[in-house]
Chain A
Amino acid sequence: MNADQADAGAESPAEDILRTAQRLRQGITGDLHEYWVEAIYADAARIADRAVSRPEKKARPTWDRTIDRIVTSRLWGFPIMAVLFTGMFWITISGANIPSGWISNLLIDRICPLLRQSADAVGFPWWLKGLLVDGIYLCTAWIIAVMLPPMAIFFPLFTILEDYGYLPRVAFNLDNLFRKAGAHGKQSMSMMMGFGCNSAGVVATRIIDSPRERLIAILTNNFALCNGRWPTQFLIASVFIGSLVPAYLAGFVAAASVTGIAMLGVAATFVISWLLSRSVLKGEVSTFSLELPPYRPPRIWQAIYTSLLDRTLFVLWRAIVFAVPAGAVIWLSANLSIGGQSIAEHFVNLLNPIGLLIGLNGVILFAYVVAIPANEIVIPTILMLTVLTTGSTAMGQGAGVLFEIQSEGALRELLHSGGWTLLTAVNLMLFSLLHNPCSTTIYTIYRETGSARWTAIATLLPLAMGFAVTFTVAAIWRMFT
């Protein structure tokens, strides 16, 4: 009934009140807003005082404060961060191999031949069987085998650390650096989210109020290694870097190299933030207060449960959704020929000169084009195309067929035969860190900034950096070898 009244009277009642308010305001002196806020605070203090009883004795320094003093100290803060993260990567790398083997044994050695047989039994034409089984099914199976175990180990560990309350301390440690780089301290939070997923990280920059600082945070979020790229790092690190040292050190050295890449990403975040805030995005640094929450005993089972559901399965599902069309594209591009060469070979040959110049190769660059929708499928694509171009039918099962990797040794053999060196591996790890964001993230950036220009910059800037860095590394490498 009241709503009707308001509708009927439309303007007049509200305008009348506003006019009265305007008139009455003239007669008021002093800041009423401030008075009101102070009154609230005074009442809050009075009520709290009546309701809370504290012990007489002065509380002795709590555990929380002692731990905080260590993990946020100038001297120990960063080393502790490095050790914790390396430890996490080490557990991930050394723990993931065995279940990966089981899964690939099941999905690829057992189920795949069954599927082939049943396709034959039903009487599928060769191309349909190839597309469905050798393309789509194998690509999906590969992604599950490569991604599931490391994620199922890494994400619960990360969630437990988060649950315990360590992340705000990391943010606290980084805050000072961000401020020096001319960015907002809260950017450390969105960066933390970026380590899970850049798209989520870009959305998380909403916590930054200043548009200038928010833009810096969006443009640099891609330098935080995301879910889709961790498996690439873990795999290449354990196959190439870990094998440089004796076996008992391999896991540790591989983990340290992944930490190094992640830290390099953090460094890139600072450098680019600094450059942006000195050039196109000049302005004042805004301050904020960061509350360090109390440490809480992590709820281990809940952390495992939610991280498996929220992160692991979510990411895996996304990877599978993209793997299905990607598997089809890979198989088709490897089996459709133009002028005696398959489409994939055309592309790879086209990209090879650029690839070799920057210490990679045409296969890797083509894989990155195919993997624009999802970084997760980079490794499967590279392996498939390597089999194709080296023509090593002994290893695989012909053109465009993703194959099983029995051991790391076999994988290394294959990649060596594709012309890979240690330089290729190092540069692949670098390029995996520094290249365009996936299409989901690009779309998110567009939605959040509403600007095609900034979206283009956010997309091309890391790509340009990737080319520059890998080119430089390759040039220096060749000088010494």
Chain B
Amino acid sequence: MSETNPMPNGAGTACGSCSLNRAANLKRLGVTMDDWDYVVALAGNPNVGKSTVFNSLTGLRQHTGNWPGKTVSRAEGGFEFAGKRFKLVDLPGTYSLLSTSLDEEIARDFILFGRPDVTLVLVDATRLERNLNLVLQVLEITDRAVVCVNMVDEARRHGMTVDDRQLARDLGVPVIPAAARFGRGIPEVLQAISDVATGKFECRPHRLHNEPPAIRRSLNELVTRIQDMYPDLPNARWVAMRLLAGDDHVHAALRNGDLGSAGMHGATGGRTESGRAV
């Protein structure tokens, strides 16, 4: 691919180049992603509009439908925002990351081993509590996430409002209200992804801290040991917890090096050296 025009639309006009005009900074790249600066994973419950968001960010036309379980495998696409190239990976919709089904395993493995630079978790405003179960599990694994509360229009129709500031405080990551079907909130989502990816916004993700007192010492001991061995592992506590709970999957991943080494998982494809984030 040839180098992209740094000023996507209307180079001459003031609006097009203004940094406040976020949408103008978006350049949809479709599937033509040869190299990228950041990898963004797109997670969420089934039928919360992941494919819609995926399409509006990448300009692809992945088939969307108003029914759950439609995206069977991982879809990938790209976009360019504020001069950086992002690769977006649409994960299958899941209710949790407990790895009880193939979908959950695909989603969890990607966040765990693929180590996306940002994980965008899409939640349904009308079913926030159930959706937050997934968000909290994602935040246990990664410390770089953006939560997009989709379908706020639908929630309003049911007389509900979601306080996104309160939510952002509780979760410790950016929270963006959106109505993706109508393109509302997408520019803000882009900005948030970019801020987290570049480190402009530092996430302090909500983590569980109320483990049973009986295991606290064991847990801390294990966490310390893991952190000693793998200082840049973003989820030492979660790994320790899973090991103590007897998670064979994590056990195996640690043994064969998927978890320990900071490199990308094979399935994600190589990332260029120059593009290596942070």
B 227-259 to A, binary, CB cutoff 8 A, 1 in contact else 0:
001111000000011011111000100110100
* CB pair A44 B132 closer than 8 Å: yes
* CB pair B159 A55 closer than 8 Å: yes
> Within 8 Å of chain A (Cβ to Cβ): is B170?
yes
How many residues of chain B have a CB within 8 Å of chain A?
71
* CB pair A33 B246 closer than 8 Å: yes
* Contact status of A167 and B66, CB under 8 A, knowing A17-B254, A32-B241, A52-B162: yes
* Contact status of A51 and B255, CB under 8 A, knowing A7-B261, A164-B66: no
* CB pair B257 A299 closer than 8 Å: no
**Segment at the B interface, from A21-29, A257-265, A359-367, A395-403:** A21-29
Q: Considering the chains assembled together, what is the distance between the CA atoms of A29 and B214 in angstroms?
A: 9
Please indicate the chain A residues that have their CB under 8 angstroms from the CB of B225 in the complex: 16-17, 20
Q: Considering the chains assembled together, what is the distance between the CA atoms of A171 and B47 in angstroms?
A: 15
Q: Considering the chains assembled together, what is the distance between the CA atoms of A50 and B67 in angstroms?
A: 29
Q: Which residues of B, 32-72, contact A by the 8 Å Cβ criterion? A: 46-47, 61, 63-69, 72
Please indicate the chain A residues that have their CB under 8 angstroms from the CB of B181 in the complex: 296, 299
Please indicate the chain A residues that have their CB under 8 angstroms from the CB of B221 in the complex: 20, 24
Q: Which residues of A contact B (CB under 8 A)?
A: 2-3, 6-7, 13-18, 20-21, 24-25, 27-33, 35-37, 39-41, 43-45, 47-55, 59, 62, 162-165, 167-168, 171, 186, 189, 203-204, 206-207, 209, 290-291, 293-294, 296, 299, 306, 309-310
Please indicate the chain A residues that have their CB under 8 angstroms from the CB of B158 in the complex: 59, 62
CB proximity of B111 to chain A, nearest CB, Å = 15
Please indicate the chain B residues that have their CB under 8 angstroms from the CB of A47 in the complex: 132, 136, 167, 170-171, 206
Q: Considering the chains assembled together, what is the distance between the CA atoms of A36 and B141 in angstroms?
A: 14
**Out of A24, A35, A59, which one reaches B222, CB within 8 Å?**
A24
Please indicate the chain B residues that have their CB under 8 angstroms from the CB of A167 in the complex: 65-67
Please indicate the chain B residues that have their CB under 8 angstroms from the CB of A33 in the complex: 245-247
Please indicate the chain A residues that have their CB under 8 angstroms from the CB of B251 in the complex: 18, 21
Q: Which residues of B contact A (CB under 8 A)?
A: 46-47, 61, 63-69, 72-73, 96, 98, 101-103, 126, 128-130, 132-133, 135-137, 140, 154, 158-164, 166-167, 170-171, 181, 206, 208, 210-212, 214-215, 218, 221-222, 225-226, 229-232, 240-241, 243-247, 251, 254-255, 257, 260-263
CB proximity of B217 to chain A, nearest CB, Å = 9
* CB pair A2 B159 closer than 8 Å: no
By Cβ-Cβ distance, the 3 closest A-B pairs, closest first, are: A48-B129, A44-B132, A21-B243
Please indicate the chain A residues that have their CB under 8 angstroms from the CB of B164 in the complex: 51
B259 nearest in chain A by CB position: A14
